[in-house]
Amino acid sequence: MASKTRRIGLSLGADICWPVCYEALLKQLDLKLRLGRDTVSFEVERVGIEPFDLRQPCSYDVVIDRLTHWYHTSREWIKKAILTDDLYVYNNPWSLQSMEKHTSYAAMMRLGFPVPDTWLIPPKAYDESPDLQATLEKYAKLFDLGEIGDRIGYPLFMKPYDGGAWVGVTAIHDREALLEAYDSSGKRVMHLQQGVQPFDWFVRCIGLGPQWRFVNYDPSAPLHDRYCMDRDFLSTGDEITLSNMTMVINAFFGWDFNSCEALRSNGVWRPIDFANACPDSQVTSLHYHFPWLIKANLKWSIYCAATDRSMHANLDWQRFFDIAAEDRSFDDKLERYAKIALEHFEAEQFEEFCDKHLGHLDEVAHEFFGSDVVMDAIRQKVEALYPAHEVDEFSELFWERIQSWRRDSSD
Ligand SMILES: Nc1ncnc2c1ncn2[C@@H]1O[C@H](COP(=O)(O)OP(=O)(O)O)[C@@H](O)[C@H]1O
Ligand SMILES: [Mg+2]
């Protein structure tokens, strides 16, 4: 019988609220899991940024990464640690580095997902380079943007092929506006995508390992009200479709944590944005759903650390493509893809593990989310984002929403 400690690293950028809650709740859980002949406990530490020897060992078993989609030193350290020390990281850094939103559209189209019609157009402007003129003169074909717009139909959305955070997204209602938007799009490579309109539901399905949460999303509301607080607002059929889509996308790309946006129009769920490397985890957006995220993150990271989960750094797409080639309906195929996805995420083993070892989490979390630690974490985040005269009001608002979560059901 041996005592072992599994170390979880948090690779963070501007995050404030969720790491405070994650660390405090892990400490309160005070886990000492009996796994085989071992007693396993857990430590969490924030990963620092420093020079590193490529041969130096890594002291973490799992890293939850929120930084490396833009901070390359940490990304290269993480890649090294996976290759040399079997570190488990979410999300997969290679996959994040190379899979743009564009790739995710193309791949899901091949699997039969009803992604709205989407075109990629060459940019309006370029950085000068020695070969630029020769290349463009020889190969860049003149195109009629207005005609492409007509083929897609209006409204359509112009948005960066690798977008995020609503940057550079324009809703376009006619040919003239399209030409104008393109003329001012500069060097960015853009998609034109058929607008899903009208739609009756806009849902963000947050996936974390084999766990998911449906959030009714109101894109027209101010930031603090975009994640609505509805529960059980979808039919079972809709829930199955959305959770299956989310699990499949995540397993396909090796993303453990991702938020998939889909709009329902004429009874069909149309996925529009599902390559979110670093999903919103802030209490100032998630509020009511924030405790779910902390619990889901704890459960999945503890499971991965405790069971020494393999990183699956190489993606295996052929299994999905084989199903895509079968002569079946999309619903049938989705069910089959989802089976692979849930196996990838070890859904059954995970559930058993949580039942056996983390049965007290709900109760501890219920208590915890009524504590001063949480109140303080909310305030710190609000202070970082809001002007001084709004800090009291918004800290109170987010706190109250978390208290509603505690009153409702705590899941
Ligand atoms: N095809 C579409 N149909 C309807 N609304 C869309 C469509 N594409 C984008 N939008 C709107 O624009 C917002 C930002 O676009 P999105 O693709 O999510 O980009 P980002 O990656 O920047 O979040 C969406 O949340 C949605 O409100
Ligand atoms: Mg989006």
Residues 232 and 362 in one domain: yes
pLDDT of residue 400: 98
C-beta of 19 in contact with ligand 1 (< 6 A): no
Residues 273 and 390 in one domain: yes
The atom of ligand 1 lying closest to the CA of 217 is 25
CA distance 239 to 242: 5
Q: Which residue type is seen at 183?
A: D
Of 139, 167, 194, the one marking the end of a domain is 194
The atom of ligand 1 lying closest to the CA of 193 is 1
Q: Name the pTM for this structure.
A: 0.96
Per-residue pLDDT of the chain (411 residues; tens, 9 = 90+): 799 999 999 999 999 999 999 999 999 999 999 999 999 999 999 999 999 999 999 999 999 999 999 999 999 999 999 999 999 999 999 999 999 999 999 999 999 999 999 999 999 999 999 999 999 999 999 999 999 999 999 999 999 999 878 889 999 999 999 999 999 999 999 999 999 999 999 999 999 999 999 999 999 999 999 999 999 999 999 999 999 999 999 999 999 999 999 999 999 999 999 988 899 999 999 999 999 999 999 999 999 999 999 998 899 999 999 999 999 999 999 999 999 999 999 999 999 999 999 999 999 999 999 999 999 999 999 999 999 999 999 999 999 999 999 999 778
In 3D space, the residue among 9, 55, 5, 74 whose CA is nearest the CA of residue 35 turns out to be 5
In a domain, 272, yes or no: yes
Beta-carbon neighbour count of residue 236 at 10 Å?
8
pLDDT of residue 313: 87
Of 194, 217, 248, the one marking the end of a domain is 194
Number of structural domains in the chain:
2
Residues 134 and 217 in one domain: no
Nearest CA to ligand 1 atom 18: 273
In a domain, 75, yes or no: no
Residues 333 and 289 in one domain: yes
Of 194, 225, 259, the one marking the end of a domain is 194
In a domain, 166, yes or no: yes
78-106 core/surface letters (b: 16 or more CB in 10 A; e: else): bbbbbeeeebbbbbbbbbbeebbbbebbe
Cis peptide before 297 (omega within 30 of 0): no
In a domain, 139, yes or no: yes
* Distance of CA 239 from the midpoint of ligand 2 (Å): 20
* Distance of CA 273 from the midpoint of ligand 2 (Å): 5
Residues 231 and 276 in one domain: yes
C-beta of 116 in contact with ligand 1 (< 6 A): yes
**Full residue range of the structural domain in which residue 146 is found:** 117-194
Residues 152 and 264 in one domain: no
CA distance 207 to 239: 13
C-beta of 105 in contact with ligand 1 (< 6 A): no
- The number of the ligand nearest the C-alpha atom of 188 reads 1
Mutate to test the pocket of ligand 1, among 96, 102, 118, 159 (most ligand atoms within 8 A of CB): 159
Is residue 85 within 8 Å of 58, Cβ to Cβ? yes
Q: Identify the CATH number of the domain in which residue 149 sits.
A: 3.30.1490.20
Mutate to test the pocket of ligand 1, among 166, 188, 280 (most ligand atoms within 8 A of CB): 166
Nearest CA to ligand 1 atom 1: 195
Residues 288 and 307 in one domain: yes
In a domain, 94, yes or no: no
Residues 228 and 275 in one domain: yes
CA distance 299 to 326: 36
Residues 129 and 257 in one domain: no
In a domain, 11, yes or no: no
C-beta of 219 in contact with ligand 1 (< 6 A): yes
C-beta of 169 in contact with ligand 1 (< 6 A): yes
